[in-house]
Amino acid sequence: MGKVTGSEAFLLSLIKENVDTIFGYPGGTIMPVYDRLYYHTDRLRHILTRHEQGAVHAAQGYARVSGKTGVVIATSGPGATNLTTGLADAMIDSTPLVCIVGQVGSPLLGTDAFQETDFIGISMPITKWNYQITDAAEVPHIIAKAFYIARSGRPGPVVVDFTKNAQVGSCDFRYEKCSFVRSYVPTPQVNEAEVAAAAAAINGAQKPFALVGQGVELANAEKELLALLEKADIPFGWTLLGKSVAPSNHPLNMGMLGMHGGYAPNKKTNECDVLIAIGMRFDDRITSDTSAYARQAKVVHLEIDRAEISKSIKADFPVLANLKESLPLLAQAVSEARRAGWISSFEPYAAQEFARVIAPQLHPGKGAITMGEAVHQISQKTGGKAILATDVGQQQMVAARYFEVAQPRSIVTSGGLGTMGFGLPAAIGAKVAAPNREVVLFVGDGGIQMTIQELGTIMQEQIGVKMVLLNNGFLGMVRQWQELFFGRRYVATPMVNPDFVKLAEAYGIRGRRVSERAELRDAVDEMFAYSGAYLLEVAVQPEGNVFPMIPAGASLDNIRFE
């Protein structure tokens, strides 16, 4: 193509990587890129968020739903540092991002120039890879490498620090997609002996139980997973991020694992004889007290990241490979089985939970609206077809428990980092990725106020997200812990809130508040009948709690119903 500027080379590189959407916020050191973007708006849609944190969370939502790599652009200094929460969130939740941040010119590096920060140093612990471009000639190669690293193997965020002199300098543009980096082996080759050993363990089991996580979704191996589980008749539970790897109504689906998971899957973890972990990392919210976790079981662990094998829970039969490759081989090697007795043994536990927790949540009959009944009514309305987005807190756990999904890539939430403020911008990104699907956000009165300025992004871009604000007037999850473990000393958790409906209306977004049960169904119908963005505020029990609950550090057998 001849000579182009570094900025032009960068944008052309994005086009070569089939990028169609960028989330960002301009500033001084990234202006040359934005100037060249003026000439590419026919191929690159730029969404101006109201804060850089909003941009990175929106890119996460986009990546989770689309299966593509999210792209973010920000300026140097505070623009870059505002990305750090989202980078840390993407790193722990394995979300592929390429974040390009402006930087002062090379001669000014290290001089404490205006809006200079060492973002390479800052971002190193929370990125999969980062690099500082100081010469325009580096641009095509580094951008290609960034995309390859971000999406290959176990995905994650990559940062490219782009000095201003490299943006305005010239180079010859020639782009080749990257498929190899020396010393980087993102996908281990499947070991057939490991698969055979795992299959033998499963074939010898009387009471196998599978734990499935987001790794299945990242590998696009949902069909391969079900082929294995259905052939060997293995019941399964799922991690929070693994919720949509299989339909909620699948007969082998026993529900969510962990601190606020179901009674049956948690109890059966400590009763099974073979525990099969598939694309999950044994997070402490799943295992709680590891010394008392599944001690009776042999552990099969299918995983792509060697660092996760035996990190928290010892794997007796590790299978290190991409699930897209290992699951079909394992499904071929296991024997067909029918385990009606083992599967039916989950039912008494499920019945106890239904009577003591679920029925009072979904059908309270009197008193204030519960979070559970609000989520349940909306779930029924969407029929499993919607994408579930959440913030972090009580509404997140209730939504995960009671909102049903039927399709892959249908949950967008912050798992490992637990980022309040994630939900609203992530829902925006999800809707951009899937404009023809309904995106329903559940958010609390605390979380929404952390990124509430992104209502402006919804207004400007006309993004039709359905926002359900479950308002209890507290920082609800912290208040629950204060009630249960700190003698009801409610310090810094009660909240005096604004009129959220008026705020939404100020941004041109239709809204409605309900506090009476009799109004709820009509409000839900109205929200979904409206084609644009909608904020439904539901006043729920001020001191409602999320149960079951396993106290932090306790064993799975110490699960509480109250």
Strand partners, 468: 442, 536
Q: How many CB atoms lie within 10 A of CB 328?
A: 17
Q: Are 476 and 394 in contact (CB under 8 A)?
A: yes
Distances (CA, A) of 87 to 81, 125, 134, 533: 10, 10, 22, 27
Closest CA to 212 of 251, 157, 256, 160: 256
**Marked catalytic residue, from 1, 3, 114, 486:** 114
The one catalytic residue in 52, 116, 353, 537 is 52
Based on the residue annotation, tell me whether 116 is a catalytic residue of this protein. no
| 6 contacts: CB under 8 Å, gap ≥ 6 | 32, 133, 136, 139, 162, 166, 167, 168, 169, 170, 171
∠ CA(280), CA(343), CA(318), 5° rounding?
30
Marked catalytic residue, from 68, 128, 145, 164: 164
Say whether 194 is catalytic. Answer: no
What are the start-end ranges of the H helices in 204-283?
214-218, 222-232, 263-269
Alpha helices in 93-221 (DSSP H): 119-123, 139-151, 164-168, 192-203, 214-218
Asked if 276 and 302 touch (Cβ cutoff 8 Å), the reply is: yes
Name the catalytic one among 256, 259, 420, 477. 477
Residue 151 has φ and ψ, to the nearest 5°, of -100, -15
Preceding omega of 548 cis (within 30 degrees of 0): yes
Q: Which residues contact 479 (CB under 8 A, 6 or more apart)?
A: 490, 493, 494, 543
What is the edge-to-edge ordering of all strands in the sheet holding 298-303?
A: 253-256, 236-238, 208-212, 274-278, 298-303, 317-320
Q: What are the phi and psi torsion angles at 81 (to 5°)?
A: -65, -25
Per the residue annotation, which of 115, 352, 380, 453 is the catalytic one? 115
Phi/psi of residue 253, nearest 5 degrees: -80, 115
CA distance 379 to 402: 8
Q: Does 164 participate in catalysis according to the annotation?
A: yes
8 A C-beta contact, residue 3 and residue 172:
yes
What is the 3-state composition of the chain as percent helix, strand, coil, each rounded to the nearest 5? 45, 20, 40
DSSP E strands, 111-191? 129-133, 157-163, 170-172
Two structure tokens written together for 354: 């239904």
DSSP state of 130: E
Beta-carbon count within 10 A of 43 CB: 12
3-state secondary structure 277-312: EECCCCCHHHHCCHHHCCCCCEEEEEECCHHHCCCC
DSSP 8-state secondary structure symbol assigned to residue 354? I
CA-nearest of 375, 343, 391, 323 to 237 is 343
Is 314 annotated as catalytic? no
477 noted as active-site residue: yes
Which DSSP category does 448 fall into?
G
Which residues form the catalytic set?
52, 114-115, 164, 477
